[in-house]
Structure formats: structure tokens, C-alpha cells
Structure 1
Amino acid sequence: MSNPDHKHNEWSNSFWDCCSPFGTCCMSFWLPCCLHGKTHSRLDDPYLKEHSYCNGSCCLYTLTSYIGFHWVPLMMQRTKIRQRFGIDGSGCGDCCSACCCPCCVMMQNEKEVEVQCSRMGGLPGGYQAPGGMNYSAQ
């Protein structure tokens, strides 16, 4: 699902801007499967209301890590983020980034989804739910 009205063609955060926030940095280094799962959850639920660190995406990342292919789910997630938010790049660039520095990719993915969701009012597509109805007693 791409957003053709999206005018932002660059990543909000640099690829090498991977040391802040410190908590996310630590998570990408010591618990990468959890951060990968969190970013996946945020793509579907920006407010993380139904978020669980141990989800299917986390398990997929863990499984692929054991066989040396941790870069595949990272590359796929990065491509999905680029397409959804209209960020320039290519599949080859996503693959190279995911292979060379997975911690940096995880940080950039999480921070980008967080920024983009806040720009669009927290919900995919920019939709804001209307406020609740007020009834006055007469």
C-alpha cells in the first residue's frame, strides 16, 4: 500500500543515526527480534494498543537469524516501509543495508515508522477518527 500523495522522498533519520534514542539502540543490539516485531506491529497499529514483543515477525526474525538469513526479513520490512511512505530507494539498496548493518536498519525502520505515523495523525492513510458524540440532557 503506497501513498502517492506523500511528498517526503528521503528517510527522516540518517542510516548512521543509530545511537539515539538509547533504549531503541540497546534493543536493536541485544533484542533485535523484539524491535523487528515492534516495528511490524507499529505498521499495522501505530498506537501499539495490541502490541506484543513476541509476535510472528519476531519469531520469523529469530528463525532466520539461526540459519544466517536475518537480513531477509529486515530487507522485506525496509522495502515495505519505503513503498508505504514513498521513500526513494531500491530493493538492492535495501538488501545491502540489511546485510551490512542490521542494527542500523532496525533503528532506521522503527524511527521512520514512528515519525511517519505521527505525521499522519497516528493512523495509516492519515485518517483521524471523529470524536465521540455528546448528548445533552434536556
Structure 2
Amino acid sequence: MSSTKPYHVEEYPWNTSLFGCFDDFKSCCLTFWCPCITFGRISEIVDKGATSCISNGAIFALLYHLNTCVCLYSCSYRTKMRRELRLKQDPCNDCLVHYFCMHCALCQEYRELKSRGINLEKGWEGNASQYREVAMAPKVEGGMKR
């Protein structure tokens, strides 16, 4: 009888630490003053343009200002991003990271996407067009002849 091992996907470390906010001072300030913008930009990229930065940012802002568990909403995107990029769950569970260190978590996610060449200010469409490979027909000089 053979034993089957469960399929394990190798996970990689984050490019920056959770507390490396000052590695990118601009995104640190943005996240401190307007976490809804940071979250909106991250979520649009993670959702691959299926949702907009504005709508997700507005939901985040509403939950944030109503003092509800905004961390449950934001941690779901950390989990989605981490799985897509095959990142380790570090230093602990995604929801705990967002509950205790939400601003640091958002900064880390923002820096991770930037380190992978994504310009979060451009949104999904601005980045997707950069990586799309479109096969175009070669240009025919002088038109087509029979």
C-alpha cells in the first residue's frame, strides 16, 4: 500500500518586513493618513481589476469610521494576495496581522506589489497593459495584391 503525501506549494518570504514602513516613506505616509487609498489600490490589483480602487476604498473607509471589524475585510485581501504570490503567512495569521498592525500590514502589501514591478497608482488597467502581449499582424507595405 502506497502512502500519498498531500501536495504542498512552496511558499516564499515577503520582500520586506512587516515593520519596514520607513523603507518607503511615501507609502507609509499615505497609509497613515489615508489607509482607504492604500487598501483600494492593493485590492484593485489583487482582484485583477474585477473591483475598483474607489469602491473598495469607500467600503474600507466606511467600515473603518464605523469602528467595525475592518480588519476582517482587509485581511481577506492579504490572504488572497499571499496565496496568489505564494508568500508565507508571516509573522502570524493574516487576520491577526491586520487586527494588531493594520497600517503596517497595508504598507507591507503595498511594498510587496511595488517590489514586483507594479505601479499601484496606475491601477489594474495601467499595469495590465504593460504586461499584455498582443500578437499583431505584420504591416504590409503597399497593400495586398492578388
Q: TM-score, length-normalised on structure 2?
A: 0.69
List runs of 5+ in structure 1 lacking aligned partners. 46-50
Contact kept, 8 Å, 1:36 with 1:61, in 2: the verdict is yes
Indicate the residue corresponding to 1:97 in structure 2: 97
Contact kept, 8 Å, 2:63 with 2:69, in 1: the verdict is yes
Task: Name the CA distance, whole Å, in 2 between partners of 1:9 and 1:93.
Answer: 16
Shift of 1:31: 0.5
List runs of 5+ in structure 2 lacking aligned partners. 1-6, 119-126
Indicate the residue corresponding to 1:17 in structure 2: 20
Identity %: 21
Query: What amino acid maps onto 1:63 in structure 2?
Result: L
Deviations 1:80-120 (A, max 9, x none): 11111111228x611111011111111111122233465xx
Aligned-residue CA RMSD in angstroms? 2.8
Task: Name the CA distance, whole Å, in 1 between partners of 2:74 and 2:117.
Answer: 19
Indicate the residue corresponding to 2:33 in structure 1: 30
Task: Name the CA distance, whole Å, in 1 between partners of 2:138 and 2:41.
Answer: 35
Structure 1 moving runs of 4+ over 6 Å: none
Contact kept, 8 Å, 1:60 with 1:73, in 2: the verdict is no
Question: Any residues of structure 2 matched to 1:98-137 within 5 Å, and which?
Answer: 98-116=98-116, 123=128, 128-130=132-134, 132-137=136-141
Indicate the residue corresponding to 1:58 in structure 2: 57
Q: TM-score, length-normalised on structure 1?
A: 0.72
Question: Any residues of structure 2 matched to 1:33-44 within 5 Å, and which?
Answer: 33-43=36-46, 44=48
Task: Name the CA distance, whole Å, in 1 between partners of 2:117 and 2:44.
Answer: 12
How many residues align? The count is 121
Highest RCO, 1 vs 2 (Cα 8 Å, sep ≥ 6): 1
Query: What amino acid maps onto 1:34 in structure 2?
Result: I
